[in-house]
Chains A and B, each alone.
Chain A
Amino acid sequence: RKEVEQDPGPFNVPEGATVAFNCTYSNSASQSFFWYRQDCRKEPKLLMSVYSSGNEDGRFTAQLNRASQYISLLIRDSKLSDSATYLCVAQGAAGNKLTFGGGTRVLVKP
């Protein structure tokens, strides 16, 4: 079983619409979670950290469900510039390495 699993997509989203997607993680000892954004052939860039209480940053809302071991990301009022691959990332308690999912591709269209 993959450590961090994501639906690869693509999610085709009309501009202005809302899109949501999840990822699941297998290691219950994972302590910290993040969403990174990756544009084609570029480096991952931190979008937001994910907390159990849920957190919001502008149009982006992230949620962590430890009981079910899944993380979600919701994007409201999608912009063309939101088109990217969104990487779900877990960080363990023992070390500080990041474990990446395969990414969910989002395409926002006019």
Chain B
Amino acid sequence: EPEVTQTPSHQVTQMGQEVILRCVPISNHLYFYWYRQILGQKVEFLVSFYNNEISEKSEIFDDQFSVERPDGSNFTLKIRSTKLEDSAMYFCASSPDRGRETQYFGPGTRLLVL
């Protein structure tokens, strides 16, 4: 069964450093998403991406965040200057289309900012 994959599984970084989280969505999917989950809290939407542009973003997704689909398979989330409060599990998801289509989640990248 096709899966969303994410690398790395864990990342430790120093405050102020840039990090890039990588995702490979399911191959025939058209919509891509990033969510995050701070430890002990709910899953929160960050951004959705379609046709090489952001289709929706949350208040969390400020100028420090960016997304990119650099080639036909990868989808990346960049945090330019990490803060302590960016420590969380970051999940990538993809769906075949919008609306009622199921979003399939990757296993996540656990980011720890020291």
Contact = CB atoms under 8 A, between A and B. Distances in A.
Contacts of A38: 43
Interface in B41-78: 41-45, 48, 55-56, 58
Interface residues of B, number: 27
Contact of B56 (A32, A34, A45, A95): A95
A95 B31 CA distance: 12
A102 B108 CA distance: 18
A43 B108 contact: yes
A49 to B, nearest CB: 7
B25 interface: no
Contacts of B108: 42-43
A91 B58 CA distance: 14
Contacts of B107: 42-43
A102 B43 CA distance: 8
Interface in A41-59: 41-46, 49
A44 B89 CA distance: 12
* B interface majority secondary structure: strand
Given A32-B100, A96-B99, A98-B103, A44 B91 contact: yes
Interface string A45-87: 1100100000000000000000000000000000000000001
A102 B42 contact: yes
B42 A101 contact: yes
Interface of B: 31, 33, 35, 41-45, 48, 55-56, 58, 89, 91, 95, 98-108, 110
Given A44-B91, A95-B48, A96-B103, 15 more contacts: A34-B102, A41-B89, A43-B105, A43-B107, A44-B43, A44-B105, A87-B43, A91-B100, A96-B31, A96-B98, A96-B101, A97-B58, A98-B103, A102-B41, A103-B42
